[in-house]
Structure 1
Amino acid sequence: MSLTRRQLLVYAGATTTLLQLSPRFSFADEPPVRGGTLRMHIAIEPPILVNLTHTAGATVYIAAKVTEGLLTYDLDLNPRPQLATAWTVSDDGLEYTFSLREGVKWHDGQDFTADDVVFSLQTLKASNPRGRATFANVASVTAINPHLVQLTLSKPAPYLLKALAACESPIVARHVYGDARPETHANATAPIGTGPFVFKEWVRGSHVILERNPNYWDAPKPYLDRVIVRFIGDSAATVAALEAGEIDISTGGVPLSDIERIKGNPRLSVDDRGEPYVNSITRIEFNFDNAYLQKHEVRTAIAHAINLDFIRKTIFLGYGKPLYGPISPDMKNFYSPDLPRYAFDVAKANQLLDEAGLARDGNGVRFKLTLDPLPGPETYRRTADYIKQALAKVGILVTLRSQDFASYVKRVYTDRDFDFTLNGMSNLFDPTVGVQRLYWSKNFQPGVPFSNGAHYSNPKVDELLEAAAVETDVQKRFALFAQFQKQVVEDLPDLGVLTLVNPVVYDKRVKDFFVGAEGLGSNGAQIYIKG
């Protein structure tokens, strides 16, 4: 059941009052400590620092600390004020009104106004890979006055109120961009925001430095003086830096095999809850433009040849849950457990390939494929090694290809020079935003990263996705997504491997880093270092 216009106003107003009385999202039993530097590590260096026209995953851990959103979210995905202090939604779901926070300054001293929101949302709709779908039904964005914005929709968008976090829909400064193309603007790599931290420098291949914003609207926050984000791709070096006290917190950079040992370190701790706003999964995606992988029986044979339980237990050491379809089981409002499954059965896989007329040659090889695993945590490479061995048993000779992140993205999404890939994707907070992009035929757009890389097209799936995107009845929407999941599992454009958990390893002195749905991707204003 959705909240009425009046309920939303009362809720937002009460929340704002509550936040003014106590530190937002702080569950500490003691007052936060002011000062200090947080040394944060991420394994993959992002290509940009603002997710305005790009959706690079690692960007989220930096972007929101500089560039904020209209809303933020608690651990149950309930919206909370950020740059918007109150909001209403009309009963028909076609009009959204946001009251904006007054007295907010951009880092260059200019005033934050409704014009910035209008520009940002229009740009997200026009140029962001996910924003195209998220804001597809937004017919107009209007500045009613400097602190009031109205969105008028052509059709309902039941997911929209959850799509306004900084890491998903950043609000940027209109005056900074001017008339330049947002896709190539320098603000993407040297951002000016309203957030608690001001961008200082980015040394490629090394680090990003963010300094405390002395004019932040939510004084006395932020508590930290500085955030230094270090990029270390080598997992052994990451562990060594953590244990030596050179890094305070790391996400996704520590080998799972080291987690139990690290838990015994009296100075370090591990948080493996996962981020409710992100809902990451790992999957094998097939390129339908490949002559072999176009055949359903070949994809089915591959599914039977891979022991997903082995991957989850042996390579991921039990971190994560089985994934039988396109939607994470952690998305309880959308996940359907009643799906077809492909049991591990090597004999069945060989039978299917024989029936497809793909006989073995004198060396026992039926055909060859190249697998491109996503550059990043060592679990991807280890899983790719296992897939190579597993498919060799059914006569498929796999070559593994390694490359940096930028080369991987260009190869898969622009050049389309790949056979199949092992990748990680975010289901996000709603399937229309995080899942639809991967299976909707209209989202096959070469050059747009993290979209329909398979070149999958099924009119029935398109119809289900488009209907779910505008359905406001919760039960009917669930039914549409249940049908969608079943059809995708039958068609096999990809094979779910598991839900993904990237444990955060941190120094116990670091407090309040995970207090909302965005996890370490929050703006970080509440983080402090004790002692």
Structure 2
Amino acid sequence: MHRRDFLATTTLLSIGLPLSAEAFAQTAAETAVRGGVLNVAVSPEPTLLTSAFITTMNIGQVSSKVLEGLVSYDLNLQPVPALATSWNTTPDGLATTFHLRKAVRWHDGKDFTAADVKYTLLEVWKKLHPFGRAAFANVTAVDTPDPHTVVIRLSSPAPYLLNYINTYGAQILPRHIYEGKDVLSNPANNAPIGTGPFVFKEWVKGSHVRLERNPNYWQKDQPYLDGVVFKFIPDAAARTVALEAGEIDVALGSSIPLSNLNRFRDKQRYAINLDDGRYLATIFLTQFNVHKPYFGDKRVRQALAYAIDRNALLKVVFLGYGKPATGPVPSSVVNYYSPDTRRYPYDLKKAAALLDEAGLKPGKDGKRLKITLDYDGGGGVNASRPAEFIKQSLARVGVEVELRAGDTATYLRRVFTDQDYDLMISSLHRLPDPTLGVQRLFWTKNIIKGAPWTNGSGYSNPQLDQIMEAAGREADVAKRKALIKSWQQIVQEDVPVLDLVEQTWVTVSTARFRKRTAQGDGLFASYADAWLQRRA
């Protein structure tokens, strides 16, 4: 990266270009324009079109316009009504009641009822969702006393539950379409039937997904748009050109290269939003396969932790969009983040000493070990850059790295099904509560062959399992914080996952794109309240 590009990028932040809450307040006072089709760049192309049992970002960015959750989240990550209009929890924390919106219909005309929520929770989220095994582990029963009331009963309090019932974490499926059939192979996964503001119309593989306005949407007078088209543009440079040319209106999830953001400085033509991904609390990481003999030794894992300069990675690869990670809970999750954990500052001498201690002394050629590093070559963000950075970093301590880029399906199979890897890199979401987004990476019960974004390292620590499970049951805030601090200390000592950078997701749009409400989970906004200003 050239220094002038870095300076131009950091200037974007200093001139106040990112879309702010104040900007949304101004938009809320505007008169929405009806009609028009919104063109959105999503990359890579989704593998299916429901998020009810998979959390891959590109899937959720499309499916959230068709299928909905019980709530969404504001900029302070507080739940606001969606398919649930209100909710309350009993004083003992053992039951939460949701009151559902009335007169809501699925796109095929069937009524949406509490039975849909009950079915999806018990048969999909609790059994198949990578976060759901933890999020809904305490659920013992779901009562539906009437068509518009859902009572979730718990064996012990689940204080994190309200942090995970939006369209990303708990997308509701139509029971009448899924019940009695295999959920994972249901044709509706590729042609979804939802309650959302837009109706699925077509998926042209390799090109686009087209959605059209739902004329019977429950929110009066919405959506404003006639439709949304998600375009799959695999080349990052081409996405940049398409946005400049007006062929797309929105580029989600940092799909515009950070080095190109200086091309969108004109506030009359473009807007940059740094809040859309706030809910995700994403950390870029490298993960060890602890079943490999050399990575079964925590000294080797610790050595590699010392060998990577997080500050340089942040500046060179992420252009300053984020901050160095210090552990499994990001600093943005202020209620549970603990700075009092083992740190791994950049120190090549310590790295070399630990490798020597582990018996991995350099040969005549200076090399100690040869390993593979897998990354998603089909991802929307250019994963080759951080992969190259890590390769060069580890070479300085005699670890030779062979990079392997596969398409998304190949990458997921190698890591989560075959465990045919040494290191992998990814950006994984930690969410507003560690029981939801962090536990899944270290919990023994989440070693699930073939399930993406679970415990793919194979790490198992019974003491940590007990602490995590206790934190998931603990209603006392102070005691729960103490348990989560303890688990951060254990993880930072064992480092089966090496957390590197707390990422900031960047959405770039044309100034024509307007939206009434700012959301902390805006990457998965329904766009019911979005419109396109008419061209001057």
TM-score by length of 1: 0.93
Q: 1:191 to 1:183 in 2, by over 3 A?
A: same
State yes or no: 1:101 paired with 2:101: yes
User: SS of the residue aligned with 1:102?
Assistant: coil
Aligned to 1:86: 86
Corresponding position of 1:343: 345
Distance in structure 2 (CA, Å) of the matches to 1:447 and 1:324:
29
**What secondary structure does 1:277 align onto?**
helix
User: Is the Cα–Cα contact under 8 Å of residues 206 and 232 in structure 2 kept in the other structure?
Assistant: yes
Whether the 8 Å contact between 1:315 and 1:382 is mirrored in structure 2 is yes
Offset of 1:175 from its aligned partner?
0.9
In structure 2, what is the equivalent of residue 13 of structure 1?
Answer: none
Q: Is the 8 A contact 1:209 1:227 kept in 2?
A: yes
For residue 269 of structure 2, what is the aligned residue in structure 1?
267
1:403 aligns to what?
A: 406
Change (3 A) 1:27 1:482: farther
Out of 474, 479, 483, the residue aligned to residue 486 of structure 2 is 483
Name the CA distance, whole Å, in 2 between partners of 1:464 and 1:27. 46
| Alpha-carbon distance in structure 1 between the residues aligned to 2:384 and 2:267 | 27
Indicate the residue corresponding to 2:301 in structure 1: 299
Q: Which is further off, 51-60 or 394-403?
A: 51-60
- Residue matched to 1:322: 324
Deviation of the 1:262 alpha carbon = 2.0
Partner of 2:48: 48
CA distance in 1: counterparts of 2:70 and 2:120, whole angstroms: 11
Q: Give the structure 1 partner of residue 464 of structure 2.
A: 461
What SS does structure 1 have at the residue aligned with 2:458? coil
What are the superposed Cα offsets for residues 435-463 of structure 1, whole Å, 9 maximum, x if unpaired? Answer: 10001111111111101111111122112
How far apart in 2 are the matches of 1:398 and 1:89?
51
- Stretches of structure 2 lacking an aligned partner (at least 5 in a row): 1-23
Deviations 1:57-102 (A, max 9, x none): 2211111210111122211122222111222211111111122111
Is it true that 1:213 corresponds to 2:175 in the alignment? no
Cα RMSD (Å) of the superposition? 1.6
Superposition TM-score, scaled by structure 2 size: 0.92
Whether 1:38 aligns to 2:35 is no
Secondary structure of the residue aligned to 2:285 is: strand
Give the direction of change, closer, same or farther, for the CA distance of 1:26–1:526 in structure 2 (3 Å limit): farther
Name the amino acid aligned to 2:511: K
**Aligned pair count?**
508
Contact 1:40 1:248 in 2 (8 A): yes
8 Å CA contact 1:255–1:377 kept in 2: the answer is: no
CA contact (8 A) 2:286 2:424 kept: yes
Quote how far apart the aligned CAs of 1:377 are: 4.4
| CA deviation string 1:26-51 (max 9, x = no partner) | 95221211111110111222212111
**1:18: which partner in 2?**
none
What is the match of residue 7 of structure 2?
Answer: none
Shift of 1:360: 2.2
Question: How does 1:431-450 map onto structure 2 within 5 Å?
Answer: 431-450=434-453
Residues of 1 paired with 2:40 and 2:205: CA distance? 16
The Cα shift of 1:265 comes to: 7.0
Distance in 2 between residues matched to 1:347 and 1:276, nearest whole Å: 37
Match of 1:8 in 2: none
Q: How many angstroms apart in 2 are the aligned matches of 1:135 and 1:108? A: 29
Change (3 A) 1:513 1:503: farther
List per-residue Cα deviations over 1:215-259 (Å, max 9, x = no partner).
Answer: 001120001111001111211111011111111010221111111
Large movers: runs of 4+ above 6 Å: none
CA distance in 1, matches of 2:470, 2:40: 42
Sort the Cα spacing of 1:25 and 1:209 in 2 relative to 1 into closer, same or farther, 3 A.
farther
Q: What are the residue-to-residue correspondences of 1:3-402 with 2, within 5 Å? A: 27-123=27-123, 124-251=125-252, 252-264=254-266, 266-375=268-377, 376-402=379-405
- The amino acid that maps onto 1:172 is L
For 1:264 and 1:145, the matched residues in 2 are separated by 53
Residues 132-185 of structure 1, C-alpha deviations (whole Å, 9 max, x = no match): 211111111122111122111111110112211112101111111131011211
Aligned residue in 2 for 1:12: none
Kept in 1: contact 2:267–2:511 (CA 8 A): no
**SS where residue 93 of structure 1 aligns?**
coil
Question: In structure 1, how many angstroms separate the alpha carbons of the residues matched to 2:365 and 2:460?
Answer: 35
Mapped to 2, the partners of 1:92 and 1:308 lie a distance apart of 43
Which residue pairs with 2:532 in the alignment? 529
Shift of 1:474: 1.7
State how far apart, in whole Å, the 2-side matches of 1:466 and 1:396 are: 36
Aligned mates of 2:358, 2:173 — CA distance in 1: 53
CA contact (8 A) 1:89 1:97 kept: yes
Contact kept in structure 2, 1:222 and 1:524, CA below 8 Å: yes
| Contact kept? 2:92, 2:157, Cα under 8 Å | yes
Aligned to 1:11: none
Q: 2:154 and 2:311 mapped to 1: Cα distance?
A: 44
Aligned partner letter, 1:500: Q
Distance 1:175 1:446 in 2: 29
Shift in Å, 1:520: 2.7
Residues 374 and 424, structure 1, Cα contact 8 Å, conserved in 2 = no
| CA–CA distance in structure 2, aligned partners of residues 134 and 193 of structure 1 | 23
Distance in 2, matches of 1:388 and 1:104, equals 52
Question: What's the CA shift for 1:378?
Answer: 4.8
Amino acid in structure 2 at the alignment position of 1:485: Q
